[in-house]
Amino acid sequence: MFEYGLVFVFPFMMIFSSFSDLFSMNISNKVSLILIAAFVGFAFTIGMDFQTILWHFTTFALVLSIGFVLFALNIIGGGDAKLAASTALWLGWAHTGPYIVLASFIGGILTLLILKFRSGLIPEKLNKLEWVLRLHDSNNGAPYGIALGLAALFIYPLTPWMEQVIALRVGI
């Protein structure tokens, strides 16, 4: 039963934050707090050693620090910085680099698609939807939480968390 939590909690939060950012251009602090609390709970449940937990939190702190610098420079949103950091907490040192690279690549594609969307008119059927109008408005940034969430969903299956699920399912 425990393995279902590992399979669903993190991916659900990534999907939720992606849609939240798309529809509201906002990622709630609750997402990051849930991810942090779930990490701690699962880490202790699987018997993760203190040194590994410390490295995960070091990765979290580094990504959060860089994220806040980027936020202060108005390059990314605050929710994006917190989401990236709480995602890095789960991914750890070994998987955060590939996560950031993949998120940057997906974010670049997403930004190009949004710029293309903003260069045209909004279709008649969509011009009454507030989130579509917000997405079309060039004064708004891109909902980068989508790129962060998608990248996390691609990287997560490669992490020790999924190794733990496989071990539990196989009975190792």
Average pLDDT over residues 61-76: 96
Q: What is the pLDDT of residues 73-113, one digit of tens each?
A: 999 999 999 999 999 999 999 999 999 999 999 999 999 99
Rg over CA atoms, the chain: 17
Closest by CA to 143, choosing from 27, 15, 14, is 27
